[in-house]
Structure 1
Amino acid sequence: MLHFIVPALLDPWPDASLAPPRLPALERLIARGDCAPGADGMDTALFERFGIPPAARQGAPHCWLGLTGKRPGGWMLHAHPVHYRADRDRLLLFPVEEEILTGEMAARCLDRFNDHFAGEGLELRAARPDQWFLFSNRPVEATFTPLHEAQGRGLHDCMPQGKEAAWWRSVLNETQMLFHPLELAINGLWFDGAGRLPEPMGRAPVLARDETDCLALGLARNAAGRDTDVELVLCRHLEKARQRADATAWLMALERLEARVAEAMEAGTELLLEPCNGTRWHWVPAMKRRFWRRARPLHPTTA
């Protein structure tokens, strides 16, 4: 079976001036396949695919393992480099695009943060210039809003919650003050994915040889077994194109996905399509005979 995880696939078309294409294979899969409840985000879809129970779904330690090949020994969080911007009476945050993050920028921010917070048991590290992690020498007793849910929103309802919420809010605020004099695109951090790496668990599907998704790689490295009957296909390009409002990139990503799905259908492969919007579609070759189910355009702007 091929399991496609494609966040943003069914999001509204980003540019009314550019007509979205017809996608016969994808449209047929959605029209004639079996629809069922699915994951509401890519990370959740990955954890479910690997069979990881909710209590063990800590993103940061798995991503660190995926990027470095090293098992982290303690508590840690994602520390996303972000840009905060005031908008009237609220504060918004936006991720800093990975293309503009350099090793020098990361080093300046890490040095400033670590000099200030050394006495608090916190250490900021970068596995790559665009992938930062915060290590804590004690348990993290707070919950955090994932970056993809917080970006572009007012932050009042997105701040840390729980027993140590006030302390973690102060860390966020102090970090803004620390980074401000550096005059970089990065003027703060956003934390999520807190936890410790569990003992090996779950079963890893087959990943593409050139797979770069750090969570998928970390889950595979921490898996207790292998599921060679499932090949996982991760498609992040649509989500990235949406975030940048780049309709041309969205179109190219859709066409590549359509070609891959059409090829798999032609070969008689069982498929699972997960658009990360709370639904998923399962396809087996016999479903192509459901002629009474008419295919419709994926995007409503199509005439």
Structure 2
Amino acid sequence: MHIHLIIPGLLWPAASLVGPAAGLALPALAHLLGKGRMTHVEFEPYHTQLLRLFGDAQASTALADLRRRGESCLPPADDAHYLCADPVNLSFAREHLLLGEFPDDDIEPAEAHGLVVALNDTFGDLGHFELASPTRWYLRLNEPTSARLYPLHDVVGRPIKHFLPEGDDGRLWQRILNELQIVLHNHPLNQAREASGKRPINSLWPWGAGTPPQPRPCSFAAVQAEGPLALGLGVTAGLPTRTPDLASALNANTLVVVERLLLPARQLDLDRWRQSLIELERDWFAPLASALRQGKLRTLTLTAPGDRFTLQLHAGARDHWHFWRKPLELDALLKSLAPPPHLPDAAAP
């Protein structure tokens, strides 16, 4: 059996900190990194890598439609056009207006529900807003859009002026964004959030428009994922889907996508990232290393999309016999991948 494990966020953002995994005891991951064969692949956005695994890396694919198909709490999608309309916070940093996303536990379900009700009361001519989770919202459009809309994860922490809607409907969607921000700013729920010291939900970020995805053949027999985009790809391909479970993953060639490091890495939440790594060592790395040694797993591919490149690790059931290959600690790996320090011109070689 083969497992392809994708862990976005495993590579801590290179420019922010050296030694983020220092002092962490991750012996099973070190064993896999040392015994397996590692390669570096040219940078490619995480969502594009997922699409490519299912034979579809088209930039025009509707990511909102795919992600919504992976939402078990929503009714099946119809022929309508959907957008992701995720709640965000806009804040000024010097002269720039920066976009920030919310951790899953930062928005109460009642707050999200109240804001969605208000948006549907005001923007019925635009479409209908749906709530999948406090941080994942959708807009069922009354009319399709041809605007170029940038994915949320491309914009987080960056000035939004470089990522405003473009194309034929670009000006229209810029005006819609302004109107959405006014409604959200004036809502009592946001005023209560600010009074309690929380960041207001003062904008939405629309993204994910495109052509509906088509079923394509792939090499997996099942898909397990924590995020709805990967689950939606599995649903579109007609594969069994579920949340990650190692025991069942060992029964078939399975794609497993574990995203618990993604938001902590993107939001530079080091404590949460380190704690999640410890959990991954216990729940996945140690059992997978054991399954390889015992022959219960034939091959393991580990993919770690990063902010500069993607790390790929291939490990086989016989690799543990390679005594000349020593364990490689994650901290040492991250330090070796970090960019060199900037040298003043006078000190440059």
Q: TM-score, normalised by structure 1?
A: 0.84
Identify the residue that residue 197 of structure 2 maps to in structure 1. Answer: none
Indicate which of 253, 256, 261 corresponds to 2:279. Answer: 253
Q: How many residues align?
A: 300
Q: 2:87 aligned with 1:81, yes or no? A: yes
Identify the residue that residue 9 of structure 2 maps to in structure 1. Answer: 8
Indicate which of 170, 175, 182 corresponds to 2:180. Answer: 175
Distance 1:103 1:258 in 2: 33
Indicate which of 241, 265, 288 corresponds to 2:264. Answer: 241
Identify the residue that residue 276 of structure 1 maps to in structure 2. Answer: 305
Indicate which of 281, 296, 299 corresponds to 2:328. Answer: 296
Task: For 1:50, give the aligned amino acid.
Answer: F
Q: Structure 1 unaligned runs (5+)? A: none
Distance 1:106 1:17 in 2: 33
Q: 2:12 aligned with 1:19, yes or no? A: no
Shift of 1:24: 4.0
Task: For 1:19, give the aligned amino acid.
Answer: A
Shift of 1:92: 1.0
Task: Call closer, same or farther: CA 1:236–1:167 in 2, change over 3 Å.
Answer: same
Residues 27 and 297 of structure 1 are in contact (CA less than 8 Å); yes or no, is this contact kept in structure 2?
Answer: yes
SS in 1 for 2:305: coil
Shift of 1:273: 0.6
Q: Which aligned pairs between 1:1-303 and structure 2 lie closer than 5 A?
A: 1-11=2-12, 19-31=22-34, 32-35=36-39, 37=41, 40-54=44-58, 57-67=61-71, 68-119=74-125, 121-183=126-188, 184=190, 185-203=200-218, 205-208=221-224, 211-224=225-238, 229-242=252-265, 243=267, 245-247=269-271, 248-256=274-282, 257-268=284-295, 269=297, 270-277=299-306, 278-288=310-320, 293-300=325-332
Higher mean alpha-carbon deviation, 107-116 vs 22-31, is at: 22-31
Residues 20 and 270 of structure 2 are in contact (CA less than 8 Å); yes or no, is this contact kept in structure 1?
Answer: no
Task: For 1:206, give the aligned amino acid.
Answer: A
Higher mean alpha-carbon deviation, 78-87 vs 108-117, is at: 108-117
Task: For 1:23, give the aligned amino acid.
Answer: L
Distance 2:37 2:293 in 1: 15
Q: State, as a whole percentage, how many aligned pairs show the same letter.
A: 28
Distance 2:52 2:94 in 1: 40
Distance 1:148 1:284 in 2: 33
RMSD: 3.1
SS in 2 for 1:98: coil
Task: Call closer, same or farther: CA 1:289–1:59 in 2, change over 3 Å.
Answer: same
Q: TM-score, normalised by structure 2?
A: 0.74
Shift of 1:189: 0.3
